Chains A and B, each alone.
Chain A
Amino acid sequence: GAGVSQSPSNKVTEKGKDVELRCDPISGHTALYWYRQSLGQGLEFLIYFQGNSAPDKSGLPSDRFSAERTGGSVSTLTIQRTQQEDSAVYLCASKGPGRHNEQFFGPGTRLTVL
């Protein structure tokens, strides 16, 4: 596709439910990132995939958060037993091969946990 896409664009869930957020990166981009942005705040790094290497999970806030990237393309971020503090916009970005680290962002998924 022309850019990074994410689905759903909005998700409202009840506390304690599991949610899955999807990211389709730009075709051919080997790196994929997940960030979280709370209202009025900057971006908080969550996890980073690069090719077939083990992902950098150092930003995941708890073991309720996990992510997969299947076939080096689509990624799914899963949040188990959601809490109200998980409410945020979840942004995905991808990066192509090259010397510089310009990332291309999707439109995000706005998650609201009631």
Chain B
Amino acid sequence: SQQGEEDPQALSIQEGENATMNCSYKTSINNLQWYRQNSGRGLVHLILIRSNEREKHSGRLRVTLDTSKKSSSLLITASRAADTASYFCATDPSGSRLTFGEGTQLTVNP
């Protein structure tokens, strides 16, 4: 099965609420990254957390990494309608190419 699996597959919340997405992976990693994709086009890098880090913040984003459970979470606080997008986690077990999950579709309702 696929390295990097997000859940839930879809999430719908109201503006101002927090959104939490989870990612699980199977092999050891150097780092884990989260990307955002609008309308099925190019991806935008959001945040990278290294394997020796447990938590990282960037603006309204908070990422955690638990290497013992091979899982990560992405928290978006105080969500906005503009946060509506697909969110993907990606791992680099080989240190070069990335392996992406199938993504979580987040809808933030105004």
Contact = CB atoms under 8 A, between A and B. Distances in A.
Interface in B21-77: 30-31, 33, 35, 40-45, 48, 50
Contacts of B98: 33, 43, 45, 101, 103
Interface of B: 2, 4, 30-31, 33, 35, 40-45, 48, 50, 88, 92, 95-103
Given A42-B88, A89-B40, A100 B31 contact: yes
Interface string A14-58: 000000000000000001010101010111010010100000100
B60 to A, nearest CB: 19
A48 B96 contact: yes
B42 A91 contact: yes
Interface residues on A, range: 20 to 34
Interface of A: 4, 31, 33, 35, 37, 39, 41-43, 45, 48, 50, 56, 59, 89, 91, 93, 100-108
Contact of B33 (A39, A50, A101, A108): A101
Contacts of A103: 43, 45, 98
